[in-house]
Structure 1
Amino acid sequence: MKEKSILHLDLDAFFVSVERKLNSELENKPLLVGGMGDRGVVAACSYETRKFGVHSGMAMKVARQLCPQAIVIKGNAGTYTRHSHEITEIIKSKVPAFEKASVDEFYADLSGMDRFFGINQFAKELRNTIIKESGLPISFGLSQNKIVSKIATGVAKPNAEKVIQMGTEKPFLAPLPVSRIPMVGSKTFQTLLNLGIREIRTLQEMPVEMLESVLGKNGRTIWKRANGIDYSPIIPFRERKSISNERTFGRDTIDMVRLRTTLTAMTESLAYQLRRGNKLTCNVSVKIRYSDYQTYTKQAKVPYTSADHLLLPKVEELFRQLYNRRLLIRLIGVKFSGLVGGNYQINLFDDSEQMLNLYNSIDKVRNRFGEHSVMRAVSLGAKTIGRMDNPFNGEPPIVLAHRNQ
């Protein structure tokens, strides 16, 4: 098999690092970023707080009790989005093809570069360039595949680097705790602990069939990762990657209630699909086609998000700005673009634990009973919007079009 070199880059405690860049007095102090009230949630925490048992996703009230000396900052999703774009532009200028796995995490295929630059040296120089130009700490892992590189980055942190030579993957992984394997969440970790499995070496020594019998189909994937086996490709980052939804009306309309109902339903459906695909958007656009077939589009940048209640106001604002001809409308559409991997964490600065739990509960119901099993009252007149399958199984842009004949 041809030797590959996959680089994984991860910004250290990204939200915390940005806050420290903006205010140097926060350096080396315990810091929590997230919701300010007792019902708030920790979106990010500095390394100084983690030794007290604090972690992201924890209720802010609990985190403050565990680490009462911590400084709490609300955070700003727009600020973090701008810094994420800045890092992306630096990497884009240095690497021909890379994957933006989330707002603070990247992969790059450096295979074959040795004959020109020297892969290790290139990776070091890229990291130094990012630190110098952005002022933010970043770590990297380098190996022959994405999984081992990601684990290596975790071992290297904070603000360091780790290179795993080809053929040494299994010895590197063996002494690490099983929780280091991506895909081993708290539930799976507890299952493995109950079986007396604490280190990755134990998984390496187990027959794959045994792990499958305990963990089902995920057992084989976890076994492969424990043995340093991973063939997942780099998915090149493209700003145009998008998901959209359009509705052509059977009869041209100027009924504002109907139009708002349709826009809300489309936005709700797309936001749910973002969360289901573990994606975030940073660009919202609205399209109008009038009865004379003239089509107009307006778009706006937004902080990375997948939350209905943050996306809906922007969609409604764009529609109000766009609808100025006062003609009958034939079609309206909503599109989210600039998609990256990521979860709801970046929305936690304004939201409470109650809001986070609400989204989780609603999405669980939708996953089990269908997308339209839970919806806003204003969306009830547009039940045909959306679809059940996961659009992120493939990478090309997705267009969901619904027409009344």
Structure 2
Amino acid sequence: MTILCVRFQPPATSEADLPRLLGMLEEFTPVVQALPPDGALADLRGAERYFGRDAVELASVIRVRALALYGVDCVIGAGPGPMLARVALRHAAPGVTCAVPAEPDAVAEFLAAQPVTALPGVGAATSRTLTDYGLDTLGRVAAAPLSTLQRLIGAKAGRELREKASGVDRGRVVPNAVSRSLAAERPFGRDELDPDRHRRALLSAAEEIGARLRALEKVCRTLTLTVRYADRSATTRSRTLTEPTAHSPALTRAAYGLYEALGLQRARVRAIALRAEGLDPADQSSHQLTFDPVDEKVRRIEEVADRARAKFGPRAVMPGGLGGLAA
């Protein structure tokens, strides 16, 4: 299962709170679809590869982070598709993720006893019509003749309902405009004045963003730096890249450039964050050929490092400049 359906719960949330909670989800994946006023869908396929954890394990991390950073609890459903994740959410509870397995038999078994109203888009009128004919569960709908369903609710609606009741999930997570980004933050254990540690945090964040972009087969067009200070103020600067990239050295150079342009003098820094924005599919982006053997060698090394991270975890290969940097 790779899709999460997350609903944030009191003491918080209003629709105005949703963007910051979406930003927290974007630290795991840029494929986030807001479900106002208090929910979201998140596609974790790339995140599972990058973090070396499955969707249920990542759901636990998301829950802890939402509580720690925002004081907001959440309930989470997980499934192989958006529809199934939404149905699973109905059975989730704070602290417990309800997950629908990907195997077709397990999906059919899970759905069979669900009421027809469990399916997204099935309203009260459709439910009454089906229930009047004894079709009050998804198992009974899946077993009903297609012609019966089409006679009751229409040709297209009947066909789609029968597919969904049988576990066919053709949906996908469609990122909202506010969600087409990916972020990494590096907090310091204490207020940090050392520029060298600032730069090492930038290197670490840029390496993470690059690896996650490549795992998702995405490139970014803009990089944004946010520096948070001890007095809770913050400075944010953005730079449009010379070409869309997921190449860690290019992201690191851009991050260093943004940092140097701030001209910080003895600033007490609490955290440093990078955000990659303007994400596009990598196969739709052109790379300017440089014929630089050093650049091509670095890219080949990067590919090997990505394979090692996919197999052994995100910390399997780290730049030498990160030695001793606190996570």
Q: So what's the TM-score if we normalise by structure 1?
A: 0.40
Question: TM-score with structure 2 length normalisation?
Answer: 0.49
